[in-house]
């Protein structure tokens, strides 16, 4: 039987690897289970966590973990942000999106996010500092919605969903816009009956760059990320919202919830309390 794996935190109980001692907290790819046997040799992102009283432990899963680093690497290395750029983020209230928007604001950009509920839209505007936000489920036409928030077009689209949102963004990009392809969680992208992306031709006359990326290609900047984002958090310049489910038995429902937009913020499953 193959265990299901995900990015998680664990306390070391026993270890014959001198880098990981009993009592250490580590993050990495860990089984959905109460006890895991981890081999550092096949777990490229296994890391010791530096505990910090000012930072909730679970933040090492999201803000300071794979999701936060995806936002940081993608925004800084793929999007080529400039002060004053107009930035659009989809799934903006999600584990990755919420940091992308806040980094863009810190960078001096105008930032608009989309999300799938009224409550998330409020969080984006009132807690995460997005300039504007909209509920895509209430929009009859995504192209019209984007034109409302970006009358002069989009410089950077951080795409977490693919599908019809990507298609609408393509129509609204400025010349030399950049699209970071980060995730395609939308139902259109996952379904085999997908209509596909119809507006890619826009990329030619607008000279757009679309680039896919994985955070694991940028591990050399992980220490810089950790230092900067910890500092932003401690200085109160960024916040992070989590949705914590208690107990391993809720993990499958939490996973399914991701695809229907049930969670608000980074979805965390706490298997065992500290």
Site of interaction with its own copies (CB under 8 A): 162, 166-167, 181-184, 189, 194-198, 200-214, 217
Question: Which neighbouring-strand residues pair with 26?
Answer: 10, 48
Closer residue to its own copies in complex, CB, 203/244: 203
Burial class (CB in 10 A: 0-12, 13-18, 19+), 204: exposed
Least separation, in Å, of the C-beta of 179 and its own copies?
9
Closer residue to its own copies in complex, CB, 6/108: 6
Least separation, in Å, of the C-beta of 208 and its own copies?
5
Closer residue to its own copies in complex, CB, 38/179: 179
Closer residue to its own copies in complex, CB, 101/183: 183
* Angstrom distance (rounded) from CA 164 to CA 188: 7
Continuous segment of H or E residues that includes residue 23: none
Closer residue to its own copies in complex, CB, 20/75: 75
Angle CA(75)–CA(265)–CA(237) in degrees, nearest 5? 55
Closer residue to its own copies in complex, CB, 203/248: 203
Least separation, in Å, of the C-beta of 72 and its own copies?
16
Task: Give phi and psi for 255, each to the nearest 5.
Answer: -65, -50
Least separation, in Å, of the C-beta of 166 and its own copies?
8
Least separation, in Å, of the C-beta of 36 and its own copies?
25
Closest CA to 113 of 158, 148, 152: 158
- Helix-helix angle 142-149:163-172, to 10 degrees: 50
Q: Which tokens hold the place of 130?
A: 């997005």
Which residue is listed with tokens 């916040």?
A: 239
Closer residue to its own copies in complex, CB, 1/204: 204
Least separation, in Å, of the C-beta of 95 and its own copies?
16
Question: Which neighbouring-strand residues pair with 135?
Answer: 115
Closest CA to 170 of 139, 211, 144, 206: 206
Least separation, in Å, of the C-beta of 96 and its own copies?
12
Closest CA to 270 of 94, 62, 63, 1: 62
Measure CA 128 to chain center.
14
Residue 251 half-sphere exposure, CB side, CA atoms within 13 Å? 16
């Amino acid at each position: 039987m193959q265990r299901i794996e995900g990015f998680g935190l664990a306390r070391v109980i026993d270890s014959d690897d001198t880098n990981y001692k009993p009592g250490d907290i580590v993050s990495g790819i860990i089984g959905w289970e109460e006890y895991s046997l981890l081999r550092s040799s096949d777990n490229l992102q296994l890391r010791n966590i530096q505990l910090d009283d000012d930072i909730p432990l679970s933040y090492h899963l999201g803000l300071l973990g794979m999701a936060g680093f995806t936002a940081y690497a993608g925004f800084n290395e793929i999007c080529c942000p400039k002060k004053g750029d107009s930035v659009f983020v989809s799934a903006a209230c999600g584990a990755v999106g919420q940091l992308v928007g806040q980094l863009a604001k810190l960078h001096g950009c105008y930032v608009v996010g989309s999300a799938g509920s009224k409550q998330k839209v409020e969080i984006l505007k009132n807690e995460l500092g997005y300039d504007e936000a909209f509920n895509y489920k209430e929009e009859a036409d995504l192209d019209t919605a984007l034109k409302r928030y970006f009358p002069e077009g989009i410089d950077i689209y951080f795409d977490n969903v693919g599908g019809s949102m990507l298609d609408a963004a393509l129509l609204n990009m400025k010349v030399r816009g950049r699209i970071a392809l980060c995730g395609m969680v939308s139902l259109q992208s996952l379904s085999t009956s997908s209509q596909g992306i119809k507006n890619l031709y826009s990329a030619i006359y607008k000279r757009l760059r679309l680039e896919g990326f994985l955070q694991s290609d940028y591990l050399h900047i992980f220490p810089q990320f950790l230092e900067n984002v910890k500092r932003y958090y401690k200085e109160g310049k960024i916040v992070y919202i989590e949705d914590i489910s208690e107990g391993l038995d809720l993990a499958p429902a939490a996973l399914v919830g991701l695809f229907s937009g049930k969670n608000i913020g980074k979805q965390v499953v706490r298997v065992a309390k500290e």
